């Protein structure tokens, strides 16, 4: 055996999560120490970064055939260097990190035995040597055993994933999920608040792009990028995760063991809004700030939602059947908004009225109220489950629900009455009309909500169109009302 003058060192980032970088550095240091002891000179160090050991793709083997293998570019390069004489020996950390697939080992053996004498191969742990037939046999046996246990591991992991999915457990892996701490279970409150806000703004018709820019401007960062992209934002908003749902292979499989950031109803609205958006791509951006309870159908008491009718560029508010409405009531969008804007500005002009409900509000109390709501909703879900499992009767279920429903209503009213900072700004400015016009759909809706709360009204009920009148906007159809059970 000649002493190698250009040995190649092959180290591999292993699958275990802890200290991957340090692992490689240590492997290389140990290999260099061994080389010094053996008197070998090192030519090149190949670092293999294959953390997904069992992905296969077609590779060309040293014998020229194309075969399906675990694809490891570093290992292929190692074989090439030995094959074409660039390297005259090989140093590895151990057998396990060199070849897990028996066919990879066979390729290595082919190259090693193609020279007379054989190309020298050594390993730090001593587990990989190919100096004679006994070494080769031993290596084959060890790789066969390792390969089997690797397949078993893969099956076990797949089974474990499915089991965890069924139990709603956090799978881990990858980057931290926005809205949650690294454990995947604990809510990160500032991020959760950003998600709730983004969800609400999407429902109101604001573009994902505008929300991304706003988040960037406010210094709210995504987990692993400097700036928001619409894809990353929409990906989060579409995920079942933020509604406390466990997904597996892209499907919701059931409730998760972590808390929800938005409730399932909101999730439904967000998905519907995103779907509407993709159907209306290329059309003018939606405004729809009167959505979600501000306009009420006089026929079924459902809420009207923004909708593009048949006329291009014109939109209306409609008791949409796809959201459980009756479909009978619709009103011209610009007309309804104009009327409400006029009424809101009238109240805004009276600074005295506003100062009454502009004080004492804070984002912290909003967050606290939302947490309280989430807790009540959690209780309702637990009750429903208990009833579903026949642990309690229908009568017990209804009796237990009543006080929770009562508290929920109270919290929700409190939440609506909280004045967000954007609205305080309008109230405190000298020119409310100018400030109002600068508000986005989200801000306008919030402000309108606050004002309705102050005058103890829920929204505007929309009456059917008077067929004897001309087909233009009819302000007489809208009436400020109070409703006790929305929807
Ligand atoms: Zn209706």
Same domain as 124, residue 214: no
Determine the distance separating the centroid of ligand 1 and the alpha carbon of 331, expressed in angstroms.
Answer: 12
Write the burial class of residue 323 (CB in 10 Å: 0-12 exposed, 13-18 middle, 19+ buried). Answer: middle
CATH number of residue 246's parent domain: 3.90.1750.20
CA distance 112 to 96: 18
Determine the distance separating the centroid of ligand 1 and the alpha carbon of 329, expressed in angstroms.
Answer: 6
Determine the distance separating the centroid of ligand 1 and the alpha carbon of 487, expressed in angstroms.
Answer: 10
Determine the distance separating the centroid of ligand 1 and the alpha carbon of 457, expressed in angstroms.
Answer: 19
Same domain as 208, residue 107: no
Determine the distance separating the centroid of ligand 1 and the alpha carbon of 479, expressed in angstroms.
Answer: 15
Report yes or no on 54 lying in a domain.
Answer: yes
Report yes or no on 185 lying in a domain.
Answer: no
What pLDDT, on the 0 to 100 scale, is given for residue 427? 67
Report yes or no on 184 lying in a domain.
Answer: no
Determine the distance separating the centroid of ligand 1 and the alpha carbon of 1, expressed in angstroms.
Answer: 89
Which of 103, 131, 152 is the last residue before a domain boundary?
152
Give the residue numbers spanning the domain of 124.
Answer: 7-152
Torsion angles phi and psi, residue 148, rounded to 5: -65, -45
Determine the distance separating the centroid of ligand 1 and the alpha carbon of 318, expressed in angstroms.
Answer: 8
What is the 8-class DSSP label of residue 178? T
CATH number of residue 30's parent domain: 3.40.50.1390
Same domain as 349, residue 463: yes
What pLDDT, on the 0 to 100 scale, is given for residue 402? 81
CA distance 5 to 27: 20
Contacts of 302 (CB under 8 A, 6+ apart): 296, 319, 323, 324, 325, 326, 487
Determine the distance separating the centroid of ligand 1 and the alpha carbon of 464, expressed in angstroms.
Answer: 10
What is the 8-class DSSP label of residue 241? G
Determine the distance separating the centroid of ligand 1 and the alpha carbon of 303, expressed in angstroms.
Answer: 7
- For residue 10, how many other CB atoms are within 10 A of its CB? 31
Same domain as 446, residue 356: yes
For the chain, which residues score pLDDT lower than 70? Answer: 1, 14-22, 49-71, 147-151, 153-158, 160-161, 249-250, 276-289, 291-292, 309-313, 350-367, 412-425, 427-428, 440, 442, 453-455, 483-487
Q: Which residues pair with 462 in a beta bridge?
A: 297, 478
Determine the distance separating the centroid of ligand 1 and the alpha carbon of 324, expressed in angstroms.
Answer: 8
Report yes or no on 65 lying in a domain.
Answer: yes
Determine the distance separating the centroid of ligand 1 and the alpha carbon of 338, expressed in angstroms.
Answer: 22
What pLDDT, on the 0 to 100 scale, is given for residue 449? 76
Same domain as 199, residue 274: yes
Report yes or no on 139 lying in a domain.
Answer: yes
Radius of gyration of the chain (CA): 33
Q: How many domains does the chain have?
A: 3
Element (H, E) at 75: helix 73-83
What pLDDT, on the 0 to 100 scale, is given for residue 196? 93
H-assigned helices in 119-262: 133-166, 189-203, 208-217, 230-238
Same domain as 123, residue 17: yes
Report yes or no on 11 lying in a domain.
Answer: yes
């Amino acid at each position: 055996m000649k002493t190698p003058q250009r040995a190649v060192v092959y180290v591999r980032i292993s699958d275990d999560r802890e200290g991957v970088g340090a692992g490689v550095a240590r492997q290389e240091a140990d290999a260099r120490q061994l080389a010094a002891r053996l008197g070998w000179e090192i030519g090149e160090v190949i670092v293999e970064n294959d953390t997904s050991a069992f992905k296969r793709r077609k590779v060309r083997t040293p014998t020229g055939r194309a075969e399906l293998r675990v694809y490891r570019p570093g290992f292929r390069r190692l074989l090439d260097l030995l094959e074409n004489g660039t390297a005259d020996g090989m140093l590895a950390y151990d057998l396990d990190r060199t070849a897990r697939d028996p066919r990879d080992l066979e390729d290595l053996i082919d190259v090693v035995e193609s020279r007379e004498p054989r190309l020298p191969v050594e390993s730090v742990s001593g587990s990989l040597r190919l100096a004679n037939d006994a070494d080769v046999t031993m290596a084959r046996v060890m790789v066969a055993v390792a390969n089997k246990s690797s397949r078993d591991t893969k099956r076990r992991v797949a089974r474990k994933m499915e089991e965890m999915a069924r139990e709603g457990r956090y799978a881990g892996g990858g980057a931290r999920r926005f809205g949650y701490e690294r454990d995947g279970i604990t809510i990160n409150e500032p991020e959760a608040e950003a998600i709730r806000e983004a969800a609400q703004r999407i429902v109101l018709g604001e573009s994902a792009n505008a929300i991304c820019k706003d988040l960037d401007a406010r210094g709210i960062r995504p987990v692993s990028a400097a700036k928001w992209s619409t894809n990353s934002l929409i990906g989060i908003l579409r995920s079942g995760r933020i509604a406390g749902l466990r997904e597996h292979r892209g499907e919701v499989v059931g409730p998760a063991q972590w808390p929800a950031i938005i409730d399932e109803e909101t999730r439904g609205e967000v998905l519907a809004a995103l779907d509407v958006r993709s159907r209306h791509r290329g059309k003018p951006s939606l405004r729809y700030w009167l959505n979600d309870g501000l306009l009420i159908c006089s026929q079924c008491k459902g809420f009207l939602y923004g909708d593009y009718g048949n006329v291009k560029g014109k939109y209306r508010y409609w008791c949409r059947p796809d959201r459980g409405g009756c479909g009978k009531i619709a009103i011209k969008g610009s007309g309804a908004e104009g009327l409400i804007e006029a009424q809101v500005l009238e109240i805004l002009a009276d600074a005295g009225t506003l100062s009454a409900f502009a004080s004492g509000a804070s984002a912290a109390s909003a967050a606290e109220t939302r947490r309280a709501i989430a807790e009540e909703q959690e209780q309702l879900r637990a009750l429903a489950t208990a009833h579903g499992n026949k642990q309690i009767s229908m009568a017990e279920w209804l009796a237990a629900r009543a006080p929770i429903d009562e508290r929920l209503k109270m919290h929700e009213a409190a939440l609506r009455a909280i004045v967000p900072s954007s609205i305080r700004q309008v109230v405190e400015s000298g020119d409310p009309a100018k400030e109002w016009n600068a508000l986005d759909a989200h801000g306008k809706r919030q402000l309108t909500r606050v004002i309705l709360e102050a005058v103890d009204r829920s929204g505007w009920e929309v009456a059917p169109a008077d067929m004897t009148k001309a087909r233009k906007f009819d302000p007489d159809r809208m009436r400020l009302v109070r409703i006790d059970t929305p929807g």
